[in-house]
Structure 1
């Protein structure tokens, strides 16, 4: 039971990020400012974790891996987060979670296109169910909100694509340098990208002249929405395994929809719930089926997935 609690807590904390972002917007901060505040406050914790891991397991990092870490920091924590936060300015947290939950299907398509991996019909069917759910959820929200819903949905989908690129490229790097140092380095690079972006588009002094409420949202976003779930994720995945993690992790998106309704007052109707359930069912099926071999001839050992869901950015 303790393991299941850790997994559920990890998913809920990760998904709570969207709620904290929405709350931060109420303090007249835009997406880039909120993201800069998040990274500035979360970075020290990850750097300490990376430093402790490097002392415990000293392993040199090659120039090639440093380059990959910078690239992964750009796609996985910078670009994905920027467009995700921008999308949250226009869509509900429920629709945002729904769209982000399609990233496993994007990973599958990328693996087929770029790595020539086989694609089974049952996986295609699961992907179709997931996207039908998004269409239903989008139509339900677009009918009750502004015309900006489409723009926000496209931004969130771009976030899912960027994160899928991160997932496809991260596996071998994680196995070489370890998950803790990997996360610390990726977050470090992404923080540099975020802060450069912020300084180019905003007065740098803005970050030290925010209201107490804005800083409170930033602390909650950094600690509860970033640091805690990142470490719980690794513990939970190691104890529960990837399949159990995928199933129990569904509590996160469902909890986010409830928090959006309870805390933010976002509208919720049966059509949106139906769309969410279809998307979650399709995404879960893809997650459970994507690593199963097509035949004995194509069997490969399952790769470690410790950092694949770290994020979202």
Structure 2
């Protein structure tokens, strides 16, 4: 029987990991205010975090009894490029036009899209619980989106559309990566995925830097470190350990902490408004997605874009 201390520590790790992941948008908003561009922050995030993930992958490979097949490695690399390059670039680009709160709520919809993919591709049933979850979660996002559209107009619509495209692509990544993660294990998969994504990220960053010269100020560098370590490496390790201690089911149940933490940090740090529309949107979206926590529990072990 699991000890109460281990159970409690697992819940704390899960909540902490979800909270740290959710602060990515805050770090990016601060970086934008300091003059950084998307490509610069992606390069900093990858360059600083990659050595940690390579070490994680090296340890994982040493523990394997058999080497992964080349096809499996290529598949993991392709999925990594999709998630950590394409999805990240789209997410960070969309974040320039919308609030950190709306960005987090839209991305938080990805389990509902996974459920739709499973229905289309595998014939999984859509139950009343799914229907209610979809209604609640999309009503919440729509409420907050309309509130921002009325204030920011077309720019907010563009940003929301880009981030929603990110959520769709990430849902595809989650669906396609599940059998690959099962064969490789989460640590080795993340290491391969991150390493593969580093190549196009750095090429893209260097190409942009030839046309846009943004000095690497101490403030931008500090945000890059914050984005890479507390918002990427630490939560990935914390969530992996949380799954080991309490299992993926309880880990998934803590996911609603993320949008709430983003809303609080956005209000306190970025001075984003948080009133009745934001509160209602948060409650509706988190409630809806949590209704779908069981079908997507196995996807919480991998970091978001």
CA distance 1:306–1:257, shift in 2 (3 Å): closer
Preserved CA contact (<8 Å) 1:198 1:204: no
Q: 2:113 aligns with which of 81, 101, 106?
A: 106
Secondary structure of the structure 1 residue equivalent to 2:35: coil
Q: CA RMSD in A?
A: 1.8
Pairing 1:3-152 to 2, within 5 Å after superposition: 3-152=10-159
CA distance 1:204–1:41, shift in 2 (3 Å): farther
Secondary structure of the structure 1 residue equivalent to 2:291: helix
Q: Deviations over 1:271-304 (max 9, x none)?
A: 121011101110111223x37xxxxxxxxxxx84
The corresponding residue for 1:298 is none
Q: Residue 181 in 1 paired to residue 175 in 2?
A: no
Q: Residue 161 in 1 paired to residue 141 in 2?
A: no
Runs of 4+ in 1 over 6 A off after TM superposition: none
Q: Residue 264 in 1 paired to residue 270 in 2?
A: yes
Shift of 1:306: 5.3
The more displaced of 274-283 and 118-127 is 118-127
Preserved CA contact (<8 Å) 1:130 1:282: yes
The corresponding residue for 1:210 is 216
Q: Residue 235 in 1 paired to residue 241 in 2?
A: yes
The corresponding residue for 2:204 is 197
> Hey, what's the Cα distance between the residues in 1 that align with 2:169 and 2:268?
30
CA distance 1:38–1:307, shift in 2 (3 Å): same
Shift of 1:206: 5.7
The more displaced of 79-88 and 24-33 is 24-33
* TM-score (normalizing by structure 1): 0.90
Shift of 1:32: 1.8
Q: Deviations over 1:4-52 (max 9, x none)?
A: 1111100011001111111111221111221121111111110111112
Preserved CA contact (<8 Å) 2:251 2:300: no
Shift of 1:227: 0.2
> Hey, what's the Cα distance between the residues in 1 that align with 2:244 and 2:187?
13
Q: 1:221 aligns with which of 207, 224, 227?
A: 227
Preserved CA contact (<8 Å) 1:183 1:307: no
> Hey, what's the Cα distance between the residues in 1 that align with 2:40 and 2:70?
32
Q: Deviations over 1:51-95 (max 9, x none)?
A: 122223353121211221122112221111110000110111110
Instruction: Number of aligned residue pairs: give it.
Output: 298
CA distance 1:256–1:190, shift in 2 (3 Å): same
Q: Residue 307 in 1 paired to residue 268 in 2?
A: no
Preserved CA contact (<8 Å) 1:94 1:256: yes
CA distance 1:86–1:179, shift in 2 (3 Å): same
Shift of 1:126: 0.9
> Hey, what's the Cα distance between the residues in 2 that align with 1:262 and 1:120?
39
Q: Residue 244 in 1 paired to residue 250 in 2?
A: yes
